[in-house]
Amino acid sequence: ILSITSTREVTTICDRPGMRLWQKILNFSKKTRYNSPMQVITQLIIQIFSLFIVSSILPGFVLTDIRAAIVAAVVIGVINTFFRPILQIIALPLTILTLGLFSFVINVLLLLFAASIVPGFKIDGFFTAAIASIVLTLISAFVHKSMKN
């Protein structure tokens, strides 16, 4: 869609400042793309590693074995890929009202949902899932940052 400005320049709608804000809110501007299967496997290994660290730190976060960790990492990846964007768009007004805090609540609820699906993966309650979500995010960010350097 094109529009003509007062100086008769043609600009796209996506270049308008308001649209850039919406792209940032919906997180469309920084999509993670995996170009090779090796990048997907690396991401999966990082997620498994993060899950084991959280299970050793938090008493209410339980992984019974390596199979449960692998299945949990895959399920969390699938949930974050397919369900999380839909829930974020649906909950966008509430997220704006809470200044982004509801996005964190969505993340915690999806982690609890993954724990209810995967056998051998158990989270005791919402508070444990909230702490686990924060720790998982910090560990993944640290590992990704250290791998880039």
Q: Which two tokens stand for residue 64?
A: 């019974």
CA distance 131 to 98: 19
Kindly give the confidence (pLDDT) of every residue in the chain, 149 residues in length, as a single tens digit, with 9 standing for 90 and above: 433 444 444 344 445 555 555 555 455 444 455 568 888 898 899 999 999 999 999 999 999 999 999 999 999 999 998 999 999 999 999 999 999 999 999 999 999 999 999 999 999 999 999 999 999 999 988 887 887 76
Query: Which is nearest to 127 in space by CA: 40, 55, 43, 58?
Result: 58
Under a CB-based contact definition with an 8 Å cutoff, are residues 84 and 106 in contact? yes
Say how many CA atoms lie within 13 Å of 108 toward its Cβ.
Answer: 16
Rg (CA), the chain: 19
